[in-house]
Structure 1
Amino acid sequence: MESDKKWDLISIASIPLIMTLGNSMLIPVLPAIRTRLGITSLQVSLLITVYSAVAIVLIPVAGYLSDRYGRKAVIIPSLIATALGGLLSGLASWWMPHPYALILGGRVLQGIGAAGSAPIVLPLIGDIFKRESDVSQGLGIVETSNTFGKVLSPILGSFLASFIWFLPFLFIPIFCSISILMVAFLVKSPEKKEEPPEFKQFLKSVKFIFTEKGRWLYAIFAIGVICMFVIFGTLFYLSDELERLFNLKGVLKGAVLAIPLAALCLASFFTGKAIGKNKPLMKWLTFIGTVLLTAAVFGCGMIHSIPWIIALLCLAGIGMGLILPCLDAFITEGIQKEQRGTITSIYSSMRFIGVALGPPVASVLLGVSHHVMFYTISGACLLAALISLFAIHPHANDKPPGGSGKYEPSEGKGHDKLKIRIG
């Protein structure tokens, strides 16, 4: 990897880490928030749901704005919005007797910030690094940072809340301030060589991308949704069972929840280093990862021993660690720079859908039985394996399936046509 880009990468990797902390730190604290505020389980769950819902809607908008005005021009204001959201929620909790409405408003601000920060990281990596092997390695480090945030979140959130229940809110602005300074001063965005397209032409180019590359793009979107659904659905189950069967709470429960995520984190790191620009390897690692994920989750449905389920979820984490860096590399390297921000942002939005669906769907299925929950989730994993096998067909020396095109308007009768130029 280019040595002069080391601090750029470290600064960029801080963004998904902090965004993950900003959301997932609250998960182990939700029971305490519910008790302190005297609100219902539905009301406290909205603190997570509203964050994801706002991000899902705004992520594609942020992607377009980053394509048009630059990555840092979107990322830095978004990090500021996230910091202000945490500050609003924390101060309302501190100073007001009934702060729920303002806490919810702060979470809306954080969702806006999340939409314009973490999803823009993928195209920014593609912009900064020239060699495909460096892009793949950078994406692996970013995915590792994202996963490390998930590992750290339950432990750190529980630790901070053990002092003051709303302290996790107040630490979000501190984390964001560090990332803002790093991105502002250490990340050198490449200069735009061409004027970005007008919105109408931009929409035509995006439509053309989905027309030409829809098969593998939809495949990657679907696999990304399923992976996030599996992560958050199984962690919801594990969190509930640890408390119900073993009375594990606080930092200790967070540490146990972090074990499968640590396996995912390590696998993501080594996968990112290994795949380089080898597209066939990415395809087969994705397939192997989905098969491993399917087998591990199916195995969880056959047993009731929590230690064995944790061991199988570690195998599932390794499977996802093989999958996610490959998906990031495919989607970042397969899209021309002018549309990269929007397409990768749609991908990130799809992943947020998986995050939002995981806990409630797992809860409903678990109400039927332990077996139904795990067998249904393993069925989704099997679908991901079939999609990766039949819908992704890279070539050894080419860009990801469908090639990479640069879109230009050309004149035609009564309407604009699009043509594709390779290179």
Structure 2
Amino acid sequence: MKKIYASAAVCFLLIGCAPSAEEGLQFYNSKQYDKARTVFEKRTSDPVALLHLYKIFWNGKGVERNEKQALDYLRAAVKLEDPAAQEEFAKVLFHGYGSVPMDKEQALSLYEQAAAKGRKTAYIGIGDYYASPPSRSNEDRGKAAEFYHKAEGTLEGDWNLAYRYEQGDGVRQDPQRSYQFVRAVAMAQGRDAEEKAHLVAAAKTVLAEYYLYGYGVDPNPHEAVKMAALAKDEHTDAAAFYAWLLFWGHGIEADPEKAVRIWQSQLDDASKKRYGGRIGLNPYAIHGLAVAYQDGIGTPKDPAKAAQLKRESMFGTWLADTWLRVKYNALGYLDKVCTDTMVLPQLEPGRYKPLKADALFAVAGCMPQSTLEQKIAVMEVAGKSYELGNLNAAVLRGKIYAALSPVEREAYMNRLAYDAAAKRTLNDLLARMKATP
């Protein structure tokens, strides 16, 4: 490899011949951007050179960032009908990056042209088109999954398929397949994996959760620690999850003080501004700190700080935040309000099924139990928790039922019979409506 660089440098610098775009690419891949740019600027009839000049000026690699110059190079490569350039410009149009207005229809056309020329990753863009608003019908979700499958084996393709199979989005939910796709991205190696290190680190974080919660694979807290540790220096979410494992001692010797230091550092960063808005704090950091401050674990007690974390919780972006927020609200670590029960059945928990079960159990534990209606409501919530795997919820439900008076028990059984009859009537009505032309 050194000989190739040397020969290219000698040819170009000493005898003045024009190096090929491939030689410029070698400079680019070795991060010698000044030399790469010099080569590419002499090969502007070559789409490879144009595309990499776009990347150099768009990202400011060795030069001052210049969006206009970058887009000029990219458009020139698109005019040469280069599939890689078509896909890249489609991404810009799809999201409306920089000064380019969003145009998803034109983006779709370019993705389709690139895919037709063999660009496997272009299918991801087509899948994104059908997966994004306003194209969100069940048919479109199915189409999105079909196109992601055409990109199977690429990092982004496998990443999207992992999510689809976890959530049952456009495909039948399949935890094992989801696990396989996540693992493929997390374990990826080579240049593409190096260039997309953030995606690989994100996959390691998700894989760590799969191991902890036993989603698509047998629960293994030690593997969860291993995966999170591999990614914690590259991905803040991985660091927050690693601290969660450390705080509770899941698969590793507990060290609450160290966990709190990690989370507190992230909380300090989250108070800064980025892109004009607050940075969302990872839910594991929010709720771990809430417990730490409320109970004085790994840090001095500070109930006021625990309550203030409710505000930070609103910026959580993961489904995990929903279940954790409900759970720790119910347990009194955030705002001591036993609320949010209505959101629980409306979201698919996927890997967070155990979190949902714990959240429901916590809510059942904080609900009032004075009247028969209240007791029935608690038993219903506890029953849902038990269905998701929380055995303690079955105990709670049994205790409440055992404490009912004979009159209350009869009323409860009548209520169950009434609900069952109402459900059968509704199902019958829906069946008849479907059968009616």
Same fold (TM over 0.5): no
Provide TM-score, normalisation by structure 2.
Answer: 0.24
Determine which structure has greater relative contact order: mean sequence separation of CA pairs < 8 Å that are 6+ residues apart, divided by chain length.
Answer: 1
The structure where helix makes up a greater share of residues is 1
Provide TM-score, normalisation by structure 1.
Answer: 0.25
